[in-house]
Amino acid sequence: MSDLTPDDKVPGLHVSAPPVYRRHDDPARWSTTPSERPSGSYTCGGCGKSDTASGAGNVRALVDDYTANHGTAHKRTGR
Protein backbone atom coordinates (compact mmCIF):
# COMPACT_ATOMS: atom_id res chain seq x y z
CA MET A 1 0.00 0.00 0.00
CA SER A 2 1.30 3.43 -0.83
CA ASP A 3 1.85 6.20 1.68
CA LEU A 4 -1.39 8.19 1.93
CA THR A 5 0.01 11.02 4.05
CA PRO A 6 -0.90 14.37 2.46
CA ASP A 7 1.96 16.69 1.47
CA ASP A 8 2.59 19.79 -0.69
CA LYS A 9 2.43 17.78 -3.92
CA VAL A 10 -0.71 15.86 -2.94
CA PRO A 11 -2.72 17.97 -0.46
CA GLY A 12 -5.79 16.66 1.30
CA LEU A 13 -7.06 14.92 4.42
CA HIS A 14 -6.24 11.37 5.51
CA VAL A 15 -7.78 9.59 8.50
CA SER A 16 -6.90 6.07 9.59
CA ALA A 17 -8.89 4.16 12.19
CA PRO A 18 -8.52 0.45 12.89
CA PRO A 19 -11.69 -1.62 13.06
CA VAL A 20 -13.12 -2.37 16.49
CA TYR A 21 -14.26 -5.85 15.45
CA ARG A 22 -11.56 -8.50 15.34
CA ARG A 23 -11.30 -12.03 13.97
CA HIS A 24 -13.80 -14.57 15.25
CA ASP A 25 -11.12 -16.50 17.18
CA ASP A 26 -9.59 -13.43 18.87
CA PRO A 27 -10.51 -13.40 22.59
CA ALA A 28 -10.35 -9.59 22.61
CA ARG A 29 -13.02 -9.35 19.91
CA TRP A 30 -15.73 -8.48 22.42
CA SER A 31 -13.83 -5.41 23.53
CA THR A 32 -15.06 -2.10 22.16
CA THR A 33 -11.57 -0.62 22.51
CA PRO A 34 -9.60 -0.65 19.25
CA SER A 35 -6.09 -2.05 19.28
CA GLU A 36 -4.69 1.24 17.93
CA ARG A 37 -5.77 4.86 18.25
CA PRO A 38 -7.17 6.60 15.18
CA SER A 39 -4.85 9.08 13.52
CA GLY A 40 -5.21 11.78 10.91
CA SER A 41 -3.30 14.43 9.03
CA TYR A 42 -3.92 17.09 6.43
CA THR A 43 -2.09 19.49 4.16
CA CYS A 44 -4.14 22.30 2.69
CA GLY A 45 -3.71 22.95 -1.01
CA GLY A 46 -4.95 26.54 -0.60
CA CYS A 47 -2.72 27.89 2.16
CA GLY A 48 -0.19 25.10 2.75
CA LYS A 49 -1.04 24.59 6.44
CA SER A 50 -0.42 21.08 7.79
CA ASP A 51 -1.59 19.39 10.97
CA THR A 52 -1.72 15.94 12.53
CA ALA A 53 -3.69 14.35 15.37
CA SER A 54 -4.19 11.05 17.14
CA GLY A 55 -7.03 9.85 19.33
CA ALA A 56 -10.72 9.94 18.48
CA GLY A 57 -11.49 13.42 19.87
CA ASN A 58 -8.40 15.03 18.40
CA VAL A 59 -8.96 13.48 14.96
CA ARG A 60 -12.58 14.66 15.02
CA ALA A 61 -11.36 18.21 15.77
CA LEU A 62 -8.76 17.92 12.98
CA VAL A 63 -11.45 16.93 10.45
CA ASP A 64 -13.73 19.76 11.64
CA ASP A 65 -10.86 22.28 11.27
CA TYR A 66 -9.98 21.03 7.78
CA THR A 67 -13.62 21.06 6.67
CA ALA A 68 -14.35 24.54 8.03
CA ASN A 69 -11.10 26.34 7.21
CA HIS A 70 -9.13 24.47 4.54
CA GLY A 71 -9.54 22.27 1.47
CA THR A 72 -12.73 23.17 -0.35
CA ALA A 73 -13.40 25.99 2.16
CA HIS A 74 -10.79 28.05 0.28
CA LYS A 75 -12.82 27.67 -2.91
CA ARG A 76 -16.07 28.70 -1.19
CA THR A 77 -14.65 31.86 0.36
CA GLY A 78 -11.90 32.75 -2.11
CA ARG A 79 -9.19 32.54 0.57
Q: Choose between 25 and 41: higher pLDDT.
A: 41
The torsion of the CA quartet 29, 21, 18, 64, rounded to 10 degrees, works out to -120
- pLDDT for residue 6 is more than 50: yes
Evaluate whether residue 48 is within a structural domain.
Answer: yes
Report pLDDT digits (tens) over 38-65.
Answer: 899 999 988 889 999 999 899 999 999 9
DSSP SS3 for 40:
strand
- Determine what percent of the chain is predicted with pLDDT higher than 70: 70
Evaluate whether residue 66 is within a structural domain.
Answer: yes
Q: What is the pLDDT of residue 77?
A: 55
pTM for the full predicted model = 0.71
Number of domains in the chain: 1
Evaluate whether residue 31 is within a structural domain.
Answer: no
What does the mean pLDDT of the chain come to? 79
Range of the domain at 49: 37-79
Evaluate whether residue 42 is within a structural domain.
Answer: yes
Residue 66: name the closest of 16, 18, 11 by CA.
Answer: 11
Q: Tell me the backbone φ, ψ of residue 48, rounded to 5 degrees.
A: 85, 0
